[in-house]
Structure formats: C-alpha cells, structure tokens
Amino acid sequence: MTLAIAYSDQMKGYDFGPGHPFRSDRYARFMNLLRQRIDSAEFEVVEPRYASDEELLLIHDSNYIQFLRAESGGLWSPGREFLSPDTPLQPGLEKAARLIVGATLTAAEMSWEGRSPHAVGVGGGLHHARRNCGAGFCIYNDVAICVRSLMENQGAKRVMIVDTDAHAGDGTCQTFYEDPRVLFVDIHQDPRTLYPGTGFAEEIGEGKGTGFTVNVPLPPGASDDAYECVLDELLFPLAEEFAPEIIIRNGGSDPHFADELTDLGLTLKGLKTVGTKVGEVAKAVCGGKLVDLVGSGYNQAVLPLGWLALVTGPAGLDLELVEPFFFSLRVDHRLAETREIVKAAKDRLKPYWRCFAN
C-alpha cells in the first residue's frame, strides 16, 4: 500500500508576506525533499479539492467566511475583530486556506475509506482558528472541520486527535471541549512560556466531554525521552481504551530544538519516533487509519526534514536523517519533570479512564 499525500502547488497562496515567519515556500521544499529521498513507488501525490462552503460551515460562522473572502481579494484592513495582528490577510490567502482544508479532507477520506489507511495532508494542522476568528497563522481550522466531517458525513463515532505541534491547539480544543466522541490529546510546550497561553493540564473538558481533553504541557527543552514517556504512558493506554475508528495527528517541525519560535528539544530522530509511535497506536487500535497533517515549522533548514521524519515514521520507511544543527544547547531532556507531569495527568484522569484507575 502506498502512502497518499494530498498536495497541490496552489497551496503556495497560503503566505503571510515578506518578513512573516509563515511563508509558503515550505510546501514545495517539503515535496522536493520527499521526491529526492523517497522511492516514487512508496507514495502517491493526490490532487486535493477545495473545501466547500458547507464544509467550512461545519465549524466556522458564515459572516466570518464572508469577511475573509471579501478582504482576501484586496489588502488587509486593520482593526477588524475577526483576525489577530499575527494573522494578516493577503490576496489569495482565503482561497489557498480552502485548498489546505480540502487537502486535509481528501487525506481523511482516503484513510477512512481504506484506500490509503495512512494519508498525509500537506499544510494542515491550522489548529488555532476558531468559529469566528483567526489567529496564530490559522484562518480555517482544518483539523476541526475534518473531524466534524468524518462524524457528520462519514458516520464516524469516535475520533482521536493527537496534536503534537509545539503550540497548544486552542481552536481545536475549544471546538470539542464538551464532546465525548472526540478524544483530544495535545502535547505542547508549557503555555506559561509559549503562545497561545492555554492548554494547561487542568483543562480536561466539560460536561459530557470531561476527561476527553488531555493537555500535556511540557517544560522548555523537553526532548526525545520526554516525548517517548508521554506517548508510552498516556497515548497508548488512552487510545486502547477509547478505541477510535481513526486518528488525526497534526503538527509539523516546531517542537524541534532548533525551531526559532519555540523552546522544545526534539531531534529529527525524536520527530520520527513520534510519527512511528502514533503509527503503532493506529495499527493497534484502528487498522492503521491515520491522517498526518504537517504545516508548522519555523526553522527553514529543519522544516522539510522534520515533516519527512514525522510522515515516514508510521510508514516504516527507512531514512537517514542528518541534523542540520549540532545538538548541544539543550542537554537537559527534562525527563524527570515530564514523568511527574505524566503521573499527575494519570491521577487527574483516573475518574474517567479505567486504564489509569490502578
């Protein structure tokens, strides 16, 4: 079975302009590296569709969509309540965002239908976008749209989201905060030290959804061992008990130690392990149905390597990964603190999960 990769050159329209940390050359750079390093028999590039209005409306308000569409045709006008200043609209941005949502939906459908159980949506993981506002370089929340589409259009009953982006997925978290059909596990840098400032361990969901949001904030510097501890001790047991029908993992290369916007400590090998372990979970609980969404990353040299490490992990593809930077700055892997965080999470979740009851 080949790996399906939903990608289009037109994604280059998702660009916030010169001087902004989020530029759109990332997509082509990743695809170029993929084509250089992976045998063409191992993957298939699938042309995504544009998300329809109906699909955007699964999560977003119609007046917000109309605003983005009108403003994206011209220049951004400041002072509008819909967007934070870090997410300035550019001509063509809204259209490209719809294509990225479409790529996520395309990948999810290919996985759900079993055509390619492991599928990748390039550019996805725009997890900061909310119902009626955009922030953190995200205008449409493709993760939330795809999960709701799986439930409403494909009949999915239990979906697990694993957010491994360095930043907490506040938009996604808010969307499913009271929904027990969606288990949201979010591993990120401590929100006291990084945008968006939410995603604390105490945020575990509300109402019927209590216990179905699992925030794992890690201290700056947390590296490969710390991530392995979280994945083995929390992700595996939770996934086994929840028994999702499909897993959506989002997050690019920004937990890497050389990322310029964050302070976590993963190596390329660590990113590959994250991919591999999430892939193992998917194989164990949902027939390998896994959608990988890669969009983030703020170190140009690391980004394509990091994305490749993540998406080749579940596929079991052998790949030599040479770090572009020396791993010398963060020798403290923060494993001891991470073990405490994991232990506290189990105690907190004990009332909702049998796997943590003893």
Catalogue the active-site residues.
128
- Residue 163 is encoded by which pair of tokens? 């957010």
Residue (of 181, 169, 233) closest to 211 by Cα position: 181
Report the residue number, 94 or 170, with the smaller CB distance to Zn ion.
Answer: 170
State in angstroms the smallest separation of the CB of 168 from Zn ion.
9
Peptide bond connecting 196 to the previous residue in cis, omega within 30 degrees of 0: yes
Report the residue number, 310 or 315, with the smaller CB distance to Zn ion.
Answer: 310
State in angstroms the smallest separation of the CB of 186 from Zn ion.
11
Kindly calculate the radius of gyration of the chain based on its CA atoms and give it in whole angstroms.
19
Cα separation, 173 vs 68, whole angstroms? 23
Report the residue number, 118 or 167, with the smaller CB distance to Zn ion.
Answer: 167
Report the residue number, 166 or 274, with the smaller CB distance to Zn ion.
Answer: 166
Which residues bind to Zn ion, rule: CB under 5 A?
Answer: 165-167, 254, 296
Residue 289 Cα distances to 107, 176, 244, 246, 323, angstroms: 11, 21, 10, 5, 30
Report the residue number, 97 or 156, with the smaller CB distance to Zn ion.
Answer: 97
Q: Which residue is associated with the tokens 């937990």?
A: 255
Q: Which residue is associated with the tokens 């400590």?
A: 265
CB 159 within 8 A of CB 182: yes
State in angstroms the smallest separation of the CB of 61 from Zn ion.
24
State in angstroms the smallest separation of the CB of 123 from Zn ion.
13
- Residue 181 is encoded by which pair of tokens? 């059909």
- Cβ-closest position to Zn ion: 167
Cα separation, 179 vs 71, whole angstroms? 33
State in angstroms the smallest separation of the CB of 167 from Zn ion.
4
Other Cβ atoms less than 10 A from the Cβ of 45: the count is 17
Cα separation, 74 vs 29, whole angstroms? 28
State in angstroms the smallest separation of the CB of 195 from Zn ion.
8
Peptide bond connecting 324 to the previous residue in cis, omega within 30 degrees of 0: no
- Residue 257 is encoded by which pair of tokens? 């130690």
State in angstroms the smallest separation of the CB of 251 from Zn ion.
7
Report the residue number, 65 or 166, with the smaller CB distance to Zn ion.
Answer: 166
E-assigned strands of the chain? 3-6, 43-46, 118-122, 159-163, 182-189, 213-218, 246-250, 290-294
Residue (of 184, 193, 167) closest to 86 by Cα position: 167
Report the residue number, 141 or 296, with the smaller CB distance to Zn ion.
Answer: 296
* Coil, strand or helix at 159: strand
